[in-house]
A = this chain, B = another copy of it.
Amino acid sequence: MPVTLEDIAEVSGYSRSTVSRVINGEPGVSHRARQKITDVVEQLNYHPNQAARGLAAGQMNNIGLIIPETVSFIFNDPYFQFLSLGVSQTSNEQDFSVMLWLSDPDLERKSINKFLNNGLVDGFIIASMLMGDPIIEALKSTPRPFVLVGRQPALPDASVVDCDNVQGAYAATQHLLKTGRKRIATITGSEGMQSGINRIEGYQKALQDWGLTVNHALIAKGDYTEGSGYFGMFQLLPEKPDAVFIASDNMAHGAYRALKEVGIRVPDDIAIVGFDDIPSADQMTPSLTTMRQPIRKMGNLAAEILINKINYPDTDSQRIILNPELVVRQSCGSSALAGSITLR
């Protein structure tokens, strides 16, 4: 029913081969032929069948975006959304399509292998997964290239796009130190995720470099959820910190909520720095100073690296670590240092 190459060939009076060359922009076709065929293609509204093309060429021009369910549950910030947007954008520019795979614990094992091996997808982007995720094993045995978004210790040689969480946490903590805060606490991210661990590390390093010792009473464990920020803040209050580096903006929301309940003012009584720069960070009261993570850009880069690897399989694996950027707003006081940057 749909228009095929052969149809174009017949109508235009050229052969299947010549039509194929024109469709794919290959050289070695006379101007006349190219013109004629282009016209017919236009006129019959022909679109190549990707399945046939993929089957014949051995490449589908599809990339798979894998998002473990845990991740999509933990983050109710727009992480998912911006990442997809970035991946999708770059893919489309390069004539690749995106297949989405959101893991579901029930189907997980069977389903991931099917997704990896069904021949529809030439390579994968895996959004930050938990350590020990069963997907890791599946990934180890796939012959297809993949790129991780967020490092994964179990896959040390894989291509990765990440943001430098150590340095981000370091910068955030240092910002607090520079504004004169002394008792700097932290609410950590999930210990099951590499980013969580790295952000603790950066926090500790900053304190040490400033000549302070790390006080474990000032470290509250969180898991990136709003609720854990709320409880984490309550846990810290008896220690009377004068500043808190919170490992995600989402948790910062929870911390704000806790502080409001007990009447502690930000930034007067306590300074807060978050991480991520989610859209609502700018609208919190007071607006939240935070480390901006360029998620969309990470999506762009992941797709770019992957597509490059698909097209040139001999490429070495790449690791791109982006620097998060300090966005100074009101939650640390010191308007002297302020100067928010616009638009994400």
Contact = CB atoms under 8 A, between A and B. Distances in A.
A87 to B, nearest CB: 9
Contacts of A278: 76
Contacts of A102: 84-85, 88-89
Contacts of A262: none
A47 B118 contact: yes
Interface of A: 1-2, 45, 47-52, 54-55, 60, 62, 65, 72, 76, 78, 80-81, 84-85, 88-89, 92-93, 97-102, 104, 107, 111, 113-115, 117-120, 143, 226-227, 230, 253-254, 257, 260-261, 278-280, 283, 285
Contacts of A120: 50-51, 62, 97, 120
Given A49-B55, A49-B118, A51-B120, 12 more contacts: A45-B117, A47-B113, A51-B52, A72-B85, A76-B78, A76-B278, A76-B280, A78-B80, A92-B111, A97-B101, A100-B100, A260-B285
| Chain copies in the assembled complex | 2
Contact of A1 (B92, B101, B143, B280): B143
Contacts of A78: 76, 78, 80-81
Contact of A47 (B114, B230, B261): B114
Given A119-B2, A226-B280, A285-B260, A101 B88 contact: yes
A278 B101 CA distance: 23
Given A51-B51, A117-B2, A120-B50, A92 B76 contact: no
Nearest to A48: B118
A249 to B, nearest CB: 12
A280 B85 CA distance: 23
B55 A51 contact: yes
Contact of A99 (B85, B97, B114, B279): B97
A283 B254 contact: yes
Contacts of A52: 51, 55, 119
Contact of A84 (B92, B100, B104, B261): B100
A226 to B, nearest CB: 6
Contact of A100 (B49, B65, B93, B227): B65
28 contacts: A1-B143, A2-B143, A47-B118, A48-B118, A48-B119, A49-B55, A51-B51, A51-B52, A52-B55, A62-B99, A62-B120, A72-B85, A76-B81, A76-B280, A78-B78, A84-B102, A88-B102, A92-B111, A97-B101, A97-B115, A97-B120, A100-B100, A120-B120, A230-B283, A254-B283, A257-B285, A260-B285, A261-B285
